[in-house]
């Protein structure tokens, strides 16, 4: 096992869907510990698929993914083991509707990690408190607003004490006034030094939170730059066109 | 003369005979329901497979059973099979066969519906937590499927119990037939017996089916969360 500076390394990843559509082509990039990388790009560029490949929800055709310098794609380690180190939050929150908020966030720690109810319970209450939802502990998901559900989903992923968090358009399904409360939680995680890969369409947020912007198009990295460079003077014509979509002039 | 009708009900062992008849109804229903639930769960799982052959076969089975009136199916098994293959199947066995065929088809479709109604994201987000395949089914998929399934399945059970009244027509002496026999026997002495006897039969069906449908309502309320 070779120790590297990178927490996550992706080497020559190839991904295509059934029927042969290539989604990711010879894709390589690395994330350092504590780094926040925001992935931008037009829809269908492969950004969500990339996140899904990283925690094994999509099979890949070629290439390697390393976490902590160890390959997670060689089939030697079970995905259920690896996924404990990788927290993922989805666009559609996907809380388990038949469980209360507290049961939702304790399921992983108790059943997957075999932690005790007391210890995980204390951790759970702390995290709920941090996202301002402690009083919703015994509520069912359908009694929560979209923003609250998404915050619970983030807590549920954090409960596993992951080394890296993947956010897949977590605010895309939310009403505008609820976007802020979710983004604030993610910003706070960034301040706490969490390593994160974020797919989003919130440009202001991307600019504020990112250490690095990765701009994807047609399954390839078109640009990789610091946020002020990317938003200030994008190098490629493709990125300029993309950013223009978010500009309004009368 | 009105009091004569109710007298017939209490005369001799008429009430016991009616209850015996009810037991035949319940016995046939119970057997068919239990087999249907087991087979239906298996069928429902098979129906969710992507295999085109199983898809077509289960589809044909379901449509065939649905289109056929239950009475025709009963005649087909009881009279048709006896003639064509020269085998004798008792009325009661024919009834169990028909109601199992029907119950399995309907139950299978309910199970299929409940299974596919679980969003794909539920699988993804539980997998992302590190749950294994078996754990995903045990903690996430099966509890949600059952919550959707049980009220519908109970509704099917009461429908099956009620529909067993058709088996009079293949000569099975169940609660309705016993009622008819009692009415026939006292046709001249108590002409108003029909009202009382059929009223009792109605009541007997009611006390069997009501608790079941009440249970369904209760579960539905409790699981609304």
At A3 the three-state DSSP class reads: coil
To the nearest whole angstrom, how far is the Cα of B212 from the nearest Cα of chain A?
23
**Confidence label for A37 from pLDDT (cuts 50, 70 and 90):** very high
Cα B214 to its chain centre, rounded Å, is 16
Cβ of residue B217 closer than 8 Å to a chain A Cβ: no
Contact A111 B135 (CB under 8 A): yes
Domain boundaries, chain B: 3-222
To the nearest whole angstrom, how far is the Cα of B204 from the nearest Cα of chain A?
37
Evaluate whether A83 touches A128 at the Cβ level (below 8 Å). no
Evaluate whether A169 touches A205 at the Cβ level (below 8 Å). no
Instruction: Summarize the confidence of residues A9-25 as an average pLDDT.
Output: 86
What value does the CA radius of gyration of chain A take, rounded to a whole number of Å? 18
At A25 the three-state DSSP class reads: strand
pLDDT tens by residue, A102-160: 999 999 999 999 999 999 999 999 999 999 999 999 999 999 999 999 999 999 999 99
To the nearest whole angstrom, how far is the Cα of A112 from the nearest Cα of chain B?
6
Evaluate whether A60 touches A15 at the Cβ level (below 8 Å). yes
Q: Hey, of A108, A114, A163, which one would you mutate to test binding to chain B, going by the most B CBs within 10 A of its CB?
A: A108
DSSP state of A112: I
> How many A/B residue pairs have CB atoms within 8 Å?
68
CATH topology of domain B3-222: MetI-like fold (1.10.3720)
Contact A83 B127 (CB under 8 A): yes
A213 DSSP β-pair partners: A38, A225
Q: Is the ipTM of this complex over 0.85?
A: yes
CA atoms of B176 and A250, how far apart (whole Å): 81
CA atoms of A53 and A63, how far apart (whole Å): 11
CA atoms of A135 and A132, how far apart (whole Å): 8
State the alpha helices, DSSP H only, in A43-175.
47-54, 79-82, 101-107, 117-130, 146-158
DSSP state of A5: S
Question: Chain A residues within 8 A (CB-CB) of chain B?
Answer: 55-57, 78-81, 83-84, 86-88, 90, 92, 94-98, 107-108, 111-113, 140, 142, 153, 156-157, 160
- Tokens in use for B7? 């007298």
CA atoms of A100 and A224, how far apart (whole Å): 41
Domain boundaries, chain A: 6-244
Contact A94 B139 (CB under 8 A): no
| Residue A13, pLDDT above cutoff 60 | yes
Given this model, what pLDDT does residue B4 score? 66
> For the stretch A183-210, what's the b/e string if a residue is b when 16 or more beta carbons lie within 10 angstroms of its beta carbon?
bebbeebbeeebbbbbbbebbebbeebb
To the nearest whole angstrom, how far is the Cα of B146 from the nearest Cα of chain A?
11
| Residue B212, pLDDT above cutoff 60 | yes
Residues 120-139 in B contacting A (C-alpha not used; CB under 8 Å): 121-122, 124-132, 135, 139
Residues in chain A with CB shorter than 8 Å from the CB of B139 are 96, 107, 111
Write the class of the CATH domain A6-244.
Answer: alpha beta
At A119 the three-state DSSP class reads: helix
pLDDT tens by residue, B80-127: 887 888 888 888 899 999 999 999 999 999 999 998 999 999 999 999
CA atoms of A241 and B165, how far apart (whole Å): 73
What value does the CA radius of gyration of chain B take, rounded to a whole number of Å? 22
Label residue A157 exposed, middle or buried (CB < 10 Å: 0-12, 13-18, 19+): buried
Please state the length of chain B.
225
| Beta strands in chain B, from DSSP E residues, in sequence order | none
pLDDT tens by residue, A167-214: 999 988 888 888 989 999 999 999 999 999 999 988 989 999 999 999
A11 DSSP β-pair partners: A64
Evaluate whether B128 touches A83 at the Cβ level (below 8 Å). yes
Q: Which position has the higher pLDDT, B64 or A18?
A: B64
- Tokens in use for A156? 């549920």
Evaluate whether A128 touches A105 at the Cβ level (below 8 Å). yes
At A115 the three-state DSSP class reads: coil
CA atoms of A194 and A237, how far apart (whole Å): 32
| Residue B191, pLDDT above cutoff 80 | no
pLDDT tens by residue, A61-115: 888 998 988 888 888 888 888 999 999 999 987 899 999 999 999 999 999 999 9
Given this model, what pLDDT does residue A2 score? 47
- Per-residue DSSP letters for B78-114? IIIHHHHH-----HHHHHHHHHHHHHHHHHHHHHHHH
CA atoms of A223 and A215, how far apart (whole Å): 5
- Per-residue DSSP letters for A35-51? -EEEEE--TTSSHHHHH
CA atoms of A156 and A101, how far apart (whole Å): 9
| Beta strands in chain A, from DSSP E residues, in sequence order | 6-16, 22-32, 36-40, 62-67, 70-71, 86-89, 164-168, 195-199, 212-217, 220-225
């Amino acid at each position: 096992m070779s120790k590297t500076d990178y927490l996550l390394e992706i080497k020559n990843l190839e991904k295509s869907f059934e029927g042969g559509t290539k989604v990711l082509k010879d894709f390589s990039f690395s994330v350092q510990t504590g780094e926040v990388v925001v992935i931008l790009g037009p829809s269908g560029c492969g950004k969500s698929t990339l996140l899904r490949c990283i925690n094994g929800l999509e099979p890949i055709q070629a290439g390697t993914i390393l976490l902590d310098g160890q390959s997670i794609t060689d089939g030697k380690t079970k995905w259920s083991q690896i996924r404990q180190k990788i927290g993922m939050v989805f666009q559609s929150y996907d809380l388990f509707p038949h469980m209360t908020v507290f049961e939702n966030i304790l399921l992983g720690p108790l059943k997957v990690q075999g932690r005790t109810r007391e210890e995980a319970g204390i951790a759970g209450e702390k995290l709920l408190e941090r996202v301002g939802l402690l009083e919703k502990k015994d509520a069912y998901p359908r009694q929560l607003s979209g923003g609250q559900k998404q915050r619970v989903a983030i807590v549920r992923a954090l409960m596993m004490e992951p080394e890296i968090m993947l956010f897949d358009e977590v605010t895309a399904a939310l009403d505008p006034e609820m976007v802020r409360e979710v983004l604030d939680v993610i910003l706070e995680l960034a301040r706490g030094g969490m390593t994160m890969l974020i797919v989003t369409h919130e440009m202001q947020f991307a600019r504020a939170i990112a250490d690095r912007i990765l701009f994807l198009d047609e399954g390839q990295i078109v640009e990789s730059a610091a946020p002020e460079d990317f938003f200030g003077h994008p190098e490629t014509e493709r990125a300029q066109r993309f950013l223009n979509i978010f500009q309004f002039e009368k | 003369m009105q009091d004569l009708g109710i007298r017939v009900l209490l005369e001799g062992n008429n009430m016991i005979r009616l209850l015996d008849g009810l037991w035949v109804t319940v016995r046939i229903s119970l057997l068919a329901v239990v087999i249907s639930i087991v087979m239906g769960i298996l069928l429902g799982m098979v129906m969710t497979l992507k295999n085109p052959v199983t898809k077509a076969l289960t589809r044909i089975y379901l449509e065939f059973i649905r289109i056929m009136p239950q009475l025709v199916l009963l005649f087909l098994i009881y009279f048709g099979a006896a003639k064509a293959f020269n085998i004798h199947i008792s009325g009661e066995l024919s009834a169990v066969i028909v109601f199992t065929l029907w119950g399995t088809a309907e139950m299978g479709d309910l199970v299929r519906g409940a299974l596919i109604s679980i969003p794909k994201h539920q699988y993804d987000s539980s997998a992302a937590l590190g749950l294994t395949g078996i754990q995903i089914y045990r903690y996430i998929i099966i509890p949600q499927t059952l919550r959707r399934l049980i009220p519908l399945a109970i509704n099917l059970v009461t429908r099956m119990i009620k529909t067993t009244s058709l088996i009079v027509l293949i000569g099975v002496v169940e609660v309705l037939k016993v009622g008819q026999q009692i009415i026939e026997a006292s046709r001249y002495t108590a002409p108003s017996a029909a009202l009382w006897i059929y009223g009792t039969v109605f009541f007997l069906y009611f006390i069997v089916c009501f608790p079941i449908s009440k249970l369904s309502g209760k579960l539905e309320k409790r699981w609304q969360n």
